[in-house]
Amino acid sequence: MKILAIESSCDETAVAIVEEREGRFTVLENVVSSQIATHAKFGGVVPEVAARLHVPVLPEILGAMTMWKRGDIDAIAVTTGPGLATALRVGVETAKALAVTWQIPLIPVDHMEGHIYANILDTPIPNSQFPILCLIVSGGHTELVLMKAHGKYELIGQTRDDAAGEAFDKTAAQLGLPYPGGPNIDRVAKDGRRDAIDFPRPMLNSGDYDFSFSGLKTAVRYYISEQKKLSEQNVADIAASFQQALIDVLVKKSYKAAQEFNVNSVLLCGGVSASKELREQFAEVFGDTNIEVIMPNMKYTTDNAAMIGAAGLQNIKNGYKEIDPFIVDADPGKILGGKWKWEDETRGIVNKRAASMLTELSSPSTSGAQRFETSSVHEMHEVAMNLVGDLIKAHVVLLKGDLGSGKTTFAQGVALAFGENKPVRSPTFTLVNEYPVHNDKIDRIVHVDLYRLDKLDAEESRNLGLEVFLNDPRSLVLIEWPERSEIELDGMELQFTIEGGKHIVEKN
What is the DSSP secondary-structure string of 221-286? HHHHHH-S---HHHHHHHHHHHHHHHHHHHHHHHHHHHHHTT-SEEEEESGGGG-HHHHHHHHHHT
Q: What is the mean pLDDT of residues 195-217?
A: 91
Count other C-beta atoms under 10 Å from residue 72's C-beta: 9
pLDDT score at 303:
95
Tell me what pLDDT residue 429 has. Answer: 66
Is the bond into 178 cis (omega within 30 degrees of 0)? no
Return d(Cα 222, Cα 508) in angstroms, integer.
26
Question: Which has the closest alpha carbon to 161: 487, 495, 427?
Answer: 427
Q: For position 41, what pLDDT does the model report?
A: 76
Is the predicted pLDDT of residue 21 greater than 60, yes or no?
A: yes
> Of the ranges 46-60, 401-415, 433-447, 469-483, which one carries the lowest mean pLDDT score?
433-447
Residues paired with 109 in a beta bridge:
79
How many CB atoms are located within 10 Å of the residue 140 CB?
27
The percentage of residues in the chain with a pLDDT greater than 90, rounded to a whole number, is 59
**Which class for 176: exposed (0-12), middle (13-18), buried (19 or more C-beta within 10 A)?**
exposed
* C-alpha span between 162 and 149 (Å, rounded): 29
| Cα–Cα dist 427/440, whole Å | 26
Is the bond leading into 296 cis (omega within 30 degrees of zero)? no
Task: With cut-offs at 50, 70 and 90, classify the pLDDT of residue 346.
Answer: low
The per-residue pLDDT for range 98-119, each reduced to its tens digit, is 999 999 999 999 999 999 999 9
In degrees and rounded to multiples of 5, residue 301 shows phi and psi of -75, -45
- CB neighbour list of residue 220: distance below 8 Å, 6 or more residues apart: 171, 174, 199, 238, 242
- DSSP-assigned letter for residue 363: S
Report the SS3 class of residue 488.
coil
Closest C-alpha to 466, from 454, 449, 483, 451: 449
> How many CA within 13 A on the CB side of residue 188?
24
pLDDT at 363: 46
Q: Which domains does the chain have, with CATH numbers?
A: 2-118+302-327 (3.30.420.40), 127-296 (3.30.420.40), 352-507 (3.40.50.300)
State the Cα–Cα distance between residues 305 and 310, nearest whole angstrom. 9
- pLDDT of 354 over the 50 cut: no
Element (H, E) at 65: helix 47-66
Confidence at residue 155, expressed as pLDDT on a 0 to 100 scale: 94
pLDDT band of residue 435 (cuts 50, 70, 90) is confident
pLDDT for 440-456, tens place per residue? 888 889 999 888 777 78
Query: Mind giving me the DSSP string for 112-154?
Result: HHHHHHGGGTTS---GGG-SEEEEEE-SS-EEEEEEEETTEEE
User: Distance between CA 115 and CA 123 in Å, rounded?
Assistant: 15
At a CB cut-off of 8 Å and minimum separation 6, what does 105 contact?
Answer: 74, 75, 76, 99, 320, 322
Do 12 and 139 form a contact (C-beta atoms < 8 A)? no
DSSP labels for 313-362?
HHHHHTTPPP--GGG----TT--TTS--TTT-TTTTPPPHHHHHHHHHHH
d(C-alpha 380, C-alpha 375), whole Å? 8
- Positive or negative, the CA dihedral 60, 65, 67, 72 is negative
pLDDT in tens, 35-50: 988 888 777 788 888 9
Report the predicted TM-score, pTM, of the whole model to 2 decimal places: 0.81
| Per-residue pLDDT band at 396 (split at 50, 70, 90) | very high
* pLDDT tens, position by position, 409-424: 899 889 888 877 666 7
Q: What's the half-sphere exposure (Cβ side, CA atoms, 13 Å) at 96?
A: 15
